[in-house]
Amino acid sequence: MATAPPPRLLLLALLSCLSLVSAAPSLRPLPRADDDDGLARATGSPSSPSGRGVGARTCWYTVQIKTSCSSPARTSDAISLAFGDVYRDEVYAARLGGAAGAFDRCATDTFKIGGPCGYGVCYLYLRRAGRTGWTPEWVRVYEPTAPSAPSTFRYGDPLPNNVWYGFNRCPRLASSTSTSSSSPSSGAGAAQAM
């Protein structure tokens, strides 16, 4: 007759499973942890973690944003975007789609956005400011070094107002390379609709 495993062994197995589940990255968009609107900007910052400062080369990313068919017919809200790599080389566009007709229901809008050259997009956040509301379906970022392998971030839910909302799939770095957020710099990347 088999005996039951000791209670301590069961507790240890349960705690191990829980720690593995809690360490898995989320597949749903979440508010940005440093939600004080203080996005770190590597652009023009001599203290950026990658060690690149003023005079760093500009790379041009192609960004496609698909507006959900459940979104309002059109939005007058200001839509901002920030994405980057594990080293926080961050590309930032303060207001996308300034012209009328951007972000219409069921439409896909394409932008060229300039910013620091990164090493694989692993986080992306959107921010909506206004009264109309807006629901993105997905965002695709095509890097200049790997245009055939875009990074896709799926949303599907309405964005909350005035909150950086999205995904961080970046692996954690050792504490020696981590930095705290700083306020937005004036060196934000340039964006143009295509």
Alpha carbon separation from 24 to 16, 30, 63, 119, 150 (Å, rounded): 13, 14, 26, 22, 22
What residue segments make up the domains of the chain, in order of their start? 58-172+185-194
Partnered with residue 126 across adjacent β-strands are 81, 165
Phi and psi at residue 21, in whole multiples of 5°?
Answer: -65, -40
Which pLDDT score is estimated for 100?
63
pTM surpassing 0.85? no
CATH number assigned to the domain covering 58-172+185-194: 2.60.60.20
- Contacts of residue 160, defined as CB under 8 A and 6 or more positions apart, other chains included, come to 31, 128
Which pLDDT score is estimated for 160?
97
CA–CA dist 154, 145 (Å, integer): 22
- Contacts of residue 70, defined as CB under 8 A and 6 or more positions apart, other chains included, come to 135
**Ordered per-residue pLDDT tens for the chain, 194 residues:** 566 666 665 555 554 544 433 444 455 666 666 543 444 433 333 334 444 444 568 999 999 999 999 999 999 999 999 999 999 899 999 999 865 668 999 999 999 999 999 999 999 999 999 999 999 999 999 999 888 899 999 999 999 999 999 999 999 865 544 333 333 333 345 555 55
Which pLDDT score is estimated for 86?
94
| Cα pseudo-dihedral 130, 150, 194, 158, rounded to 10 | -20
Which pLDDT score is estimated for 46?
34
Which pLDDT score is estimated for 159?
97
Which pLDDT score is estimated for 172?
83
Of 178, 177, 85, 163, the closest CA to residue 123 belongs to 85
